[in-house]
Amino acid sequence: MSLHNEWAKITRYFPPTRQEWLEFLLVALIFGFVISFNEWGAGAFDALEGLRNLLLATLLCALALAVHHGAQRLVGLRFDSRVQHHVWWTGLMLSLLFAFISRGALPFLAATGTTVEDMPLHRLGHFRYKLGALAQMWIQLAGPIANVIVAFVLWLLIRTTVLAGGIASTFVGINVMMAVLNLLPIPPLDGTRVFFVSRLFYAVAFGAVLAGGLTYVLSPAVTPLLLIIITMAGAIVAGVGWHYAFEK
């Protein structure tokens, strides 16, 4: 397909609807509140500082959500399908509940689901007219993968350049948490589609992301090589463990 046709699809089908924008902003705001839960003043309550931290956290969460959703929409268009996002209200309530119960120590950043619609005119000539389960899996998986890539690249820049931590480190953490939590096999999260298409592949993918994410959270000073080794080890252990426990 020509580059012109691909660009035409993106300009027509990529932008969110008005409803999606409103829900996107709501989720970003709630996530921002969760991330900044304990940042309303050092010692004494400070409304001005709290609002400033809330706005910053909301912006960072909006960027991470944009990475996640944008990747899924682009991959969907590559498969000649339109991806739309919606709020998972139960997840949004869980996000607030975890924040209050743990006093901000356990941020739950998974509160959106996807709807994948075929674009019949664009799928003419495909071997399979309807979108297959494997293609839908890759569309869902694109979100967590994009979050992991952004987190890893930014983390490398923090480690190897003069790029300061602080805000950048917070953004890395948000992307890591979003990738791990959205891979949970709970409808309508991304992990559900991956789990039901290939449980072994799901175990490998989730094991890799979980191992890498936990390593970063528990030891941010870990070297890039060691992080890669631990991530690969997590994938291997999870895959082998699942195979021998459930598929042998």
The H or E element that residue 187 is part of is: none
Are the C-beta atoms of residues 145 and 71 closer than 8 Å to each other? Answer: yes
Per-residue pLDDT of the chain in tens (248 residues, 90 and over written 9): 567 677 778 888 889 999 999 999 999 999 999 999 988 876 777 888 889 999 999 999 999 999 999 999 999 988 888 899 999 999 999 999 999 999 889 999 999 999 988 776 665 555 555 677 888 899 999 999 999 999 999 998 888 776 666 888 899 999 999 999 999 999 999 999 999 999 999 999 999 999 999 998 888 788 888 999 999 999 999 999 998 888 76
Supply the DSSP string of 38-100, one letter for each residue: T-S-SSS--HHHHHHHHHHHHHHHHHHHHHHHHHHHHHHHHTTEEEEEEE-HHHHHHHHHHHH
Residue 245: CB partners within 8 Å, gap ≥ 6?
A: none
| Backbone φ, ψ for residue 86 (5° rounding) | -145, 160
pTM: 0.91
| Backbone φ, ψ for residue 117 (5° rounding) | -115, 135
